Amino acid sequence: MQAVFLGGVAIAIVAGFFNGAFVLPLRYAKSWGWENTWLVFCCFALILLPWTAAFLFVPHLRSLLHDAPLTYFLPGVIAGTFWGVSMVLYGLGLDMVGIAVGNAVVASMSAMAGTLGPLIVYAPDKLLSSTGLVLIGAIVLIVSGIYTYGKAGARKEKETAGQQAATPRVGGSFRAGLTICLITGPMGTVFIYGIGSSTGLVRASAAVGANPMFVGCVPMALTFSVGFIANALYCLYKLQQNHTFANFATSGTFLRNSWLAFSMAAMWFLGLLMYGAAAVKMGRMGPSIGFGLFVSGTVLFANFLGWRAGEWKGASPSTIRDFVKGMILVVIAIFAIAFGVH
Check if the beta carbon of residue 242 is closer than 8 Å to that of residue 23: no
Stretch among 55-64, 177-186, 261-270 having the lowest mean pLDDT = 177-186
- pTM here is 0.84
Residue pLDDT, tens place only, 264-312: 999 999 999 899 888 888 877 888 888 888 888 888 888 888 888 787 8
Burial class of residue 249, CB neighbours in 10 A (0-12, 13-18, 19+) = exposed
Kindly tell me if the per-residue pLDDT of 166 is higher than 50: no
Residue pLDDT, tens place only, 120-148: 888 888 888 888 888 889 889 988 988 88
pLDDT at 161: 67
pLDDT at 164: 43
Give the mean pLDDT of 30-48: 93
Q: How far apart are CA 44 and CA 326, in angstroms?
A: 33
pLDDT at 223: 96
Buried b or exposed e, range 230-247, using 16+ CB within 10 angstroms: bbbebbeebbeeeebeeb
